[in-house]
């Protein structure tokens, strides 16, 4: 059974948690211990760590992620009513592919049970393994990556800086959209930026997101898998001075983004990668995870639309098109309809709704076609 690959938390951590206040997260989460494995019935979120760093060129060390867990489980929950389990740790396999196999199996099994898996640690190429977990779920996948690089490569390899190439090229190709938040131009060759455009993917520069964090909310609302590279955070906030990055998201900004990810009804897997569990980074990672769960607990369950009775429909004639918008009475969030085209090889099986902003609606009223809608149309025809 795939859960047999999970290692329990160390007994020293059990002792630490037993001494925490009854109000802390550590006293409200069910753990995989030396003697017990959590019952997964009625569980909403499952956390596990992965000790696999070979994809970033590092030698694996004997990380137990104890520092991360001490930081996270010492925090106090908000007004949450969500069942959370900690499944323990996945040790590195004999090969990196062995680790991918385990992560893929764990994520697939949890998603099938209606549980959101949270993958903590390891290098970001583990995003590939999480993506492959969707292979047998009969759906197209939207990936959102918070990263200062796109992680393409011309070489046929799979590591932390090239996993996206593997996802795009390899069959079965279940990827519908890839969105990057926070790329820094000087870390990315122009040909890769051009390729993102050519594939009608979405990319938002660091400054664009930092200046208006709300621009990212519709992007997360359309995501299935969210992957965070901790190298996208300024070193002065992350605590990573071994790989110094003077620019990047602040601590407050990255926590806002992970909360957006959590509040999205569509996100079914989440991962935070490329950090050392033995450094100060674990303090920020713990808070980022806290904000993701905070968002999760405030999901509005607006997706998928069961009925459109709770939405106001707006029809905007533009050129030879009619753009159809919906506004939620509950949250006042906006969507735009992507029509199903019967005369082309369509990736979508029906009309679908794309999250957008009120500004997109106002722009359409001024006869400007929203860029996200235009790109979604083009991707649909590829």
Burial class (CB in 10 A: 0-12, 13-18, 19+), 209: buried
Domain 2-297: give its CATH code. Answer: 3.40.800.10
- Rounded to whole angstroms, the Cα distance separating 312 from 267 reads 24
Report the candidate in 283, 169, 264, 187 with the shortest Cα–Cα distance to residue 222: 264
Terminal CA-CA length for the chain: 38
H/E segment holding residue 380: helix 371-381
For residue 301, the model assigns a pLDDT of 87
Stated pTM of the model:
0.94
For residue 351, the model assigns a pLDDT of 67
Q: Is the separation of the CB atoms in 225 and 141 below 8 Å?
A: yes
- Rounded to whole angstroms, the Cα distance separating 76 from 53 reads 30
For residue 194, the model assigns a pLDDT of 95
| Angle in degrees, CA 196, 316, 382, rounded to 5 | 30
- Rounded to whole angstroms, the Cα distance separating 232 from 245 reads 8
For residue 24, the model assigns a pLDDT of 98
| Angle in degrees, CA 155, 153, 372, rounded to 5 | 145
Per-residue DSSP letters for 226-292? EEEEGGGB-HHHH---SS--SSSB-HHHHHHHHHHHHH-TT--EEEEES--TTSTHHHHHHHHHHHH
- CB proximity list for 15: less than 8 A, separation 6 or greater: none
114-153 burial, b at 16+ Cβ within 10 Å, e below that, comes to ebbbbbbbbbbbbbbbbbbbbeeeeebbbbbbbbbbbbbb
For residue 86, the model assigns a pLDDT of 98
For the chain, domain boundaries? 2-297, 311-381
- Six token digits for residue 282: 């674990």
For residue 159, the model assigns a pLDDT of 81
Report the candidate in 319, 336, 322 with the shortest Cα–Cα distance to residue 373: 336
- Rounded to whole angstroms, the Cα distance separating 72 from 70 reads 6
Mean pLDDT by 10 residues, the chain (382 residues): 94 96 97 96 97 82 86 96 97 94 97 97 96 91 97 77 90 94 96 94 97 96 97 95 93 98 97 91 97 96 76 92 92 90 53 90 95 89 71
């Amino acid at each position: 059974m795939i859960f047999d690959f999970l290692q329990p938390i160390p007994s020293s951590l059990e002792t630490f948690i037993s001494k925490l206040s009854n109000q802390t997260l550590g006293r409200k989460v069910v753990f995989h211990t030396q003697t017990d494995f959590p019952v997964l019935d009625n569980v909403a979120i499952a956390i596990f760590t992965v000790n696999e760093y070979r994809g970033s060129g590092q030698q694996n060390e004997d990380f137990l992620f104890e520092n991360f867990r001490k930081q996270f489980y010492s925090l106090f929950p908000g007004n949450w009513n969500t069942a959370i389990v900690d499944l323990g740790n996945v040790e590195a396999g004999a090969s990196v592919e062995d680790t991918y196999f385990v992560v893929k199996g764990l994520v697939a099994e949890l998603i099938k049970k209606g549980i959101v898996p949270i993958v903590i640690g390891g290098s970001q190429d583990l995003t590939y393994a999480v993506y492959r977990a969707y292979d047998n779920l009969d759906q197209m996948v939207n990936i959102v990556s918070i990263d200062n690089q796109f992680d393409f490569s011309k070489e046929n390899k799979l590591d932390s800086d090239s996993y996206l190439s593997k996802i795009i090229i390899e069959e079965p190709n279940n990827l519908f959209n890839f969105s990057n938040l926070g790329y820094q131009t000087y870390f990315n060759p122009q040909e890769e930026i051009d390729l993102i455009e050519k594939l009608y993917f979405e990319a938002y520069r660091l400054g664009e997101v930092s200046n208006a964090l709300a621009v990212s909310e519709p992007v997360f609302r359309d995501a299935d898998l969210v992957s965070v590279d901790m190298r996208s955070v300024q070193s002065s906030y992350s605590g990573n001075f071994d790989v110094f990055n003077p620019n990047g998201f602040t601590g407050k900004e990255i926590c806002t983004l992970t909360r957006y990810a959590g509040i999205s009804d569509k996100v079914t897997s989440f991962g935070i990668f490329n950090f050392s569990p033995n450094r100060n980074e674990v303090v920020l990672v713990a808070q980022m995870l806290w904000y993701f769960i905070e968002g999760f607990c405030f999901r509005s369950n607006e997706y998928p639309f069961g009925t459109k009775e709770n939405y106001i429909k707006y029809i905007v004639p533009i050129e030879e098109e009619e753009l159809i918008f919906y506004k939620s009475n509950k949250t006042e969030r906006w969507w735009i309809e992507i029509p199903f085209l019967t005369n082309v090889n369509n990736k979508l099986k029906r009309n679908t709704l794309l999250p957008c902003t009120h500004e997109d609606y106002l722009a359409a009223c001024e006869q400007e076609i929203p860029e996200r809608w235009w790109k979604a149309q083009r991707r649909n025809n590829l």
